[in-house]
Amino acid sequence: MKYSLSPLLFVGLALFLITPPTMAFDQSAADKLDERFRDKYQEVKVKPHWISPHEFWYRRPAAEGNEEFVLVNCQQGETKVFAKRSELPNGLRSPWRPDARQRTSVPSETSPDGMWKVEQRDHNLWLINTENNEESQLTTNGEDRHGYEPRVFWSPDSKKLVAMHVKAAGDRRVYLVESSPEDQLQPKLDSYYYLKPGDDIELRRPRLFDVESKSEIEVSNELFDNPWSLDELLWDAESEFFTFYYNQRGHQVARVIKVDSTSGEVTPVVNDEQPTFIDYAHKHFAYYLNDTDEVVWMSERDGWNHLYLIDLKSGEVKHQITSGEWVVRGVDFVDVENRQVWFHAGGIHADQDPYYVHCCKVNFDGTGLVVITAGDGTHEVGHSPERDYVIDRYSRVDMPPVTEVRRTSDGELVATLEQTDIEPVKAAGWQAPERFVAKARDGKTDIYGVIYRPTDFDPNRKYPVLEDLYAGPHSAFVPKGFSSIPWLQRWAELGFIVVKIDGMGTSYRSKAFHDVASKNLVDAGLPDRKLWMQAAAEKYPQLDLSRVGVMGHSAGAQSAMAALLWHNDFYKVAVAGCGCHDNRMDKIWWNELWMGWPIGPHYADQSNVTNAHLLKGDLLLIVGELDKNVDPSSTMQVVDALMKADKDFDMLVVPGRGHNTDTPYIIRRKRDYLMEHLDATTVHPLEAEQFEHVDSAEVQ
């Protein structure tokens, strides 16, 4: 809505004339949120005590410090309130536990029939007949750092065994100096084992042996010659074959491989390949079924994270269990008897935020999908003893928790149990964070974030914008559930409008959305973040985009500094704590997963060290001298490069601290730095032309 010259304009001009150019700001306002709000917010957390498959009771507070007891009949959808526990029926039952009958194979020294035993000697294996103690040397090629594990995988009929031949990983160590130990005057030297990208890793190879002939059955390793990991080794019930999970180094190939126990023939019964990466650390799920030689397998092969039922004998995909433009966030349990999968999903309600988690179930053949939860928010559930009902608690950042009972057969609402009252918190000045959505760099994809304003927010002034940035591809980071005292609200109280955004390259959306991070961590979704803030400022001119700061920790620190290297036309100030500023310096598993292997020139091209000469803006680096998560030298190499480039910056080295440097002193220094360099204590009234774009109904 546009205004011509109006009372709003004159109010703005008056404020400009009468407001002093600066104001003293009390940092303690940020720390008084607990005092202001904590005692005014009380959620009733429903902890059910099931007394039958369809009835439970729970406690809730009552007047004058008392409590009352609520009895819930799920069949009738009725609740009754009792003043005393002793009026309630007896018969408490333990919660139901999911079926866990998937096929397993545990390595052991002794065969299932007890007739054979394996011993490790000088890195090799010996086979011993337990009846007559006759010994035979089974392997001869074991040596130091490339020998056999002492326990083996026996076939159920005890006629075959699989031994793991293992080549040890490299022995890189990182060294730290504790400058100020509490128990002595002199510094201490410490070291720890820490592989980095490109280092030699442990190599595992399964070798198949016939027990009766005491000879090896040759198994070609052509399909698994470069393992990052090789595990989940399982025999079938008839001892005809065994399978194992193979994750190739570089994380672009994942297979379940079947080996015939007689011929040694190798077949890939499950084969996933991606030109970017396979997120094995967060999206790998395999449930092997005992009686049917099947596996429930998780894959992004169709562009979304879904479940498949695969025949382990033929490798045939029998059914795609889940499908659609939404993602399986995780499997809760597999019901073998009823051939169902219970899981939680994101984006399954197309009209809701795609990051909201919902509870679902579906048959192995893909039929009978039931989305059990419905409310517009993110959900967490507990199941009744017979799985007929769920206790569903859901909320949003701008909506306090609601607790319901729902039927799992059809997702229908049985009863609403509790709705949290936040009117007392609102009366004390609490403001809800605002959910905000804008388009990504492609002009089509929705980017989701949250805006936090000071509780004394003045719609007639402009505020510096502070982004809390973390863009690790392993997850998504914008809060979705309710908090009466959000952590970022404490920063808003300092005089910022604070934003939190999930740009492209983070998880829980489509594979294409995620793939933006592939060999491209420097991107960090920054182009999407800028567009999001520009869209927010178009709607809310109180966001002053001439004063944008960013703070981040660990991988977030890498991205925060990168913002001042590649996007310093937009970002002006950055605080970067314990950053992995060069992906060659950080832990091997995280960086090879997203940046790939072998180590290519893109590692150096994206390094904050290599590009330190591009720095513009105000940068505060923080590092703990005892950080064992990220090598502190990663920060020191940035310092060296900045000095060589004659760049000004600020730095805090924290003695005695590791990856978490947030002492009260460090928190104060971060606040001071951002407030000073973003000019947070100066009042910037909206100018006349900006009032023309303000719709008072849109301003909180």
In a domain, 194, yes or no: no
Position 594 scores a pLDDT of 98
> Do 53 and 153 reside in the same domain of the chain?
no
Q: Residue 90: pLDDT band by 50, 70, 90 thresholds?
A: low
Q: What is the distance between the alpha carbons of residues 216 and 461, in angstroms, rounded to a whole number?
A: 79
Same domain, yes or no, for 53 and 128? no
526-539 vs 555-566: helix crossing angle, rounded to 10: 70
Q: Are residues 560 and 652 in the same domain?
A: yes
- Domain shared by 55 and 154, yes or no: no
Q: Which residues contact 135 (CB under 8 A, 6 or more apart)?
A: 126, 127, 128, 129
Asked whether residue 559 is domain-assigned, the answer is yes
Q: How many CA atoms lie within 13 A of 629 on its CB side?
A: 16
Rounded to an integer, the average pLDDT of 96-114 is 76
Give the separation between CA 143 and CA 124, rounded to whole angstroms: 7
Helix, strand, coil percent content, the chain, rounded in steps of 5? 20, 35, 45
Q: Which residues pair with 147 in a beta bridge?
A: 166
How far is 300 from 278, CA to CA, in rounded Å?
Answer: 8
564, HSE (Cβ side, Cα atoms, 13 Å) = 31
Q: What is residue 11's predicted lDDT score, i.e. its pLDDT?
A: 32
Domain co-membership, 148 together with 235 = yes
Q: How far from each other are the two terminal CA atoms of the chain, in whole angstroms?
A: 16
The backbone torsions φ and ψ at residue 93, rounded to the nearest 5 degrees and listed phi first, read -115, 150
What percent of the chain is modeled with pLDDT above 70? 92
pLDDT score of 18: 30
Tens digits of residue pLDDT in 535-575: 999 999 999 999 999 999 999 999 999 999 999 999 999 99
How many structural domains does the chain have?
Answer: 3
C-alpha to C-alpha distance for 321 and 189, rounded to whole angstroms: 54
Give me the sign of the Cα torsion angle 99, 101, 105, 109.
positive
Helix ranges, 161-230 (H): none
Q: Which residues of 228-245 are buried (b: 16+ CB within 10 A; e: fewer)?
A: bbbebbbbbeebbbbbbb
* E strand spans, 336-420: 340-346, 357-363, 370-371, 378-383, 389-396, 399-407, 413-419
Q: Read off the pLDDT of residues 372-388 as tens digits, 9 standing for 90 and up.
A: 999 999 999 999 999 99
Cβ(448)–Cβ(477) under 8 Å?
Answer: no
Q: Where are the alpha helices (DSSP H) in 487-554?
A: 487-492, 511-515, 526-539
Confidence (pTM): 0.92
The verdict on residue 297 lying in a domain is no
Lowest-pLDDT range of 89-98, 173-182, 340-349, 402-411: 89-98
Which domain, by its residues, includes 57? 49-87
CA distances from 664 to 25, 33, 555, 594, 660 (A): 18, 16, 22, 34, 12
Residue 240's CATH number: 2.130.10.10
Based on the fold, state whether residues 250 and 158 are members of the same structural domain: yes
Residue 467 counted as domain residue: yes
Decide if 37 is inside a domain: no
Report the candidate in 591, 520, 473 with the shortest Cα–Cα distance to residue 199: 591
Please check whether residues 665 and 523 belong to one and the same domain: yes
Distance between CA 82 and CA 89 in Å, rounded?
A: 11
The string of pLDDT tens digits covering residues 250-309 is 999 999 999 999 999 999 999 999 999 999 999 999 999 988 999 999 999 999 999 999
3-state DSSP call for residue 282? Answer: helix
Q: Are strands 340-346 and 327-335 parallel, antiparallel or unpaired?
A: antiparallel
- Taking CA atoms, 542 is separated from 103, 453, 489, in Å, by 59, 10, 17
Residue count of the chain, please give it. 700
Q: Are residues 81 and 159 in the same domain?
A: no
Q: Which amino acid is at 105?
A: S
**Is 279 domain-assigned?**
yes
- Strand segments (E) across 473-582: 497-502, 543-553, 573-577
Task: Give the number of other Cβ atoms within 10 Å of residue 2's Cβ.
Answer: 9
Check pLDDT > 70 for residue 583.
yes
Question: From the CA atom positions of the chain, what is the Rg in Å?
Answer: 30
Share of the chain above pLDDT 90, in %: 87
Which segments of 212-355 are extended strands (E)?
A: 215-217, 227-235, 241-248, 253-260, 266-273, 286-289, 294-299, 306-311, 317-320, 327-335, 340-346
Positive or negative: CA dihedral 106, 109, 113, 114: negative
Same domain for 64 and 131, yes or no, is no
Say if residue 207 is in the same domain as residue 72: no
Is residue 502 a part of any domain in this protein? yes
Residue 449 near residue 470, CB atoms below 8 Å: no
Q: What is the pLDDT of residues 146-170, one digit of tens each?
A: 999 999 999 999 999 999 999 999 9
Distances (CA, A) of 481 to 43, 204, 399, 429, 435: 13, 42, 8, 20, 11
d(CA 307, CA 328): 8
**Count of other CB atoms within 10 angstroms of residue 8:** 17
Residue 310 lies in a domain: no
The answer to whether residues 207 and 78 belong to one domain is no
Average pLDDT value over all residues in the chain: 92
Question: What confidence tens digit (pLDDT) does each residue in 22-74 have?
Answer: 333 456 777 888 888 888 889 999 999 999 999 999 999 988 889 999 999 99
Q: Which residue has the tokens 């360099």?
A: 677
The amino acid occupying position 481 is G
Taking the C-alpha atoms of residue 108 and residue 117, their distance in angstroms, rounded to an integer, is: 9
CA 76 to chain centre: 39
Average pLDDT over residues 407-416: 98
In a shared domain, residues 438 and 567: yes
